[in-house]
Amino acid sequence: MTSRRLHVRLAVPACLAVLLTGGLTAGLSGASAAPGDPSGTAAKTAASRTEARAALADAQAVLGGDAAPATDATMTLLRLWQLRGELSGADRAAADRLLARPDDETPGQAWESACTADNCYHWATLGADAVATGDLDGDGVPDYVQTVMEVVDGVRDTYVGAGYRAPKTDAGEGGSTKTDIYLADVGTDSLYGYCTSDAPDPSGSGPWDAWAYCVLDNDYDQDQFPTNTPLENLQVTAAHEYFHAVQFAYDAFEDAWLMEATATWAEDELYDDVDDNLQYLAESPLKKPGQPLDTFNEAGAQYGTWIFFRFLTELSPEAAGGLPTLVRDVWNRADGAAGGPDDYSVQALSHVLGARGSSLPSTFALFATANRAPALWYDEGASYPSTGPGGTLKLSTSRRDSSWVGATLRHLSSVTARFVPGVGLRSSAWKLKVTLDLPDAATDPAAVITVYRRSGSPQVSVVPLSSSGAATRKVAFGSSGVRYVEVTMANAGTRYDCWTSGAYSCQGSSLDDGRKVRVRGQAVK
């Protein structure tokens, strides 16, 4: 695995992402904060029979191969497990069948098992799920199964060695209390693999941890999986899905965006050379800075958000057992097992960043800044995509004032204005006077100014804001030494109306959407 370091080093406060709804436009004024704090005492879920039936339909589509390409089997089946207590009669029976293990009385198949110290592996010898029978060492375990055992056991050892909790033991399902791994032809349903649970329904007051069992493909045949080699697909799928089993041991009801983002981050940490997760960056904040960081959607934004955790762990690379400790610490804060803090996703991030002497808003603004030039900020950033600024304004001696330009931002999003020195502004005596008008500081706005010089690294500074969200700063602007200056404005608001079946963190809706930000640039001496 390559070493991870930032090419631009800063002492940074931690942050949470911000989002904008469009590009820069003229004449927007600041916005005031929305009142209210999310309740910490509301029920963990607001389940209804309608939601449960929708979850059942989604699970039927996923396991039938009829779901949208980015639909995740693990999260879909997990949602069904969470809500199955709301179902009855035929619906409950259908849910139980979908959550049943592959070897539960499957017609026309015979199953064998073998266990290692911590996991048990189950494979079919007959039927559609059968694995190849090759067994070079004659020990009765097919070669493919042995490969799976080596990979998955290695994944588990890495996670536990890095200080993560091992998956929770089950009650003897699968023949032992160890974590069960089943091999089945899930590729025929366009799936790489999944983990889910068949634990009893949790009580309405927790705890929220659960055991898991996992299903991986029985061969990763390249006719079904044309990208990467069969071994590479096995490796990244095992790393991703087993991390879900680890997550369930902390909180099987945690926000799904955090589950997917950190599992996608983990697969790249374990198998850095495969780079399968680069495909998700098209839906990430690198390409969509106006999309809330905690978005979970059919396009797969939750997978692309792994880049946020890459940013954080390159910025804070302290490691244990070969893995950065920051993500582990987030899950320790999210721990919903008995006695755990039970933070929801954004709370856990805020606490972990705060413990490292950072603040969520400024860290998120730096994240948004890094995404403007990934090759300069990320260890592997030369292979990452990026997008243009929200607006470009060229100043000259005949137009020295950009006037106010701005945007309306959703929570955990950002927008960037670029100022370019034009005709008559060559001398190093010219400065850019940046005036910011952001929402009240209590709503967690943040801004970063980056001077892109003609030689050397960019000069990056987090801008201190007044209590009203205002600031003025002068930076170098003469075209003899400066290519352009970018001003990144972020809405790092993290207040929610929680546990309302909303689309964002804490299954809620944001109280910080619709924040207006604006900036003005003036060429001065």
- Evaluate the CA torsion angle 366, 371, 374, 378 in order and state its sign: positive
Is-contact 445 492, C-beta < 8 A? yes
* Tens digit of each residue's pLDDT (9 = 90 or more) over 160-214: 999 999 999 999 999 999 999 999 999 999 999 999 999 998 878 889 999 999 9
E strands, 375-510, in order: 391-395, 405-410, 413-421, 431-437, 445-453, 459-462, 470-476, 482-491, 496-497, 509-510
Tokens of 304: 């692309």
Q: In terms of Cα–Cα distance, which of 376, 378, 409 is closest to 288?
A: 409
Q: How far is CA 319 from the centre of its chain?
A: 20
Distance, CA of 213 to CA of 9 (rounded, Å): 42
User: How many other CB atoms are found less than 10 A from the CB of residue 469?
Assistant: 25
Q: In terms of Cα–Cα distance, which of 347, 274, 352, 262 is closest to 307?
A: 262
Distance, CA of 467 to CA of 371 (rounded, Å): 27
Q: What pLDDT score was predicted for residue 76?
A: 96
- The SS3 of residue 432 is strand
User: 12's torsion region: left (phi>0), alpha (psi -120 to 50) or beta?
Assistant: beta
Indicate whether 2 pLDDT > 70. no
Cis peptide before 207 (omega within 30 of 0): yes
Task: Give, in order, the Cα–Cα distances in Å from 39 to each of 9, 335, 349.
Answer: 37, 18, 18
- Evaluate the CA torsion angle 91, 93, 94, 95 in order and state its sign: positive
The crossing angle, in degrees rounded to 10, of helices 345-355 and 360-370 is 100
The pLDDT of 263-271, averaged and rounded, is: 98
Indicate whether 496 pLDDT > 60. yes
**Higher-confidence position of 326 and 26:** 326
Distance, CA of 97 to CA of 101 (rounded, Å): 8
Q: In terms of Cα–Cα distance, which of 115, 189, 359 is closest to 123?
A: 115
Secondary structure in 3-state letters for 247-289: HHHHHCCCCHHHHHHHHHHHHHHHCCCCCHHHHHHHHCCCCCC
User: Which helix H or strand E contains 95, and what residues bound it?
Assistant: helix 89-99
Q: What is the pTM of this model?
A: 0.90
* Tens digit of each residue's pLDDT (9 = 90 or more) over 417-447: 999 999 999 999 999 999 999 999 999 999 9
Of the pLDDT bands very low, low, confident and very high (cuts 50, 70, 90), residue 37 is: very low
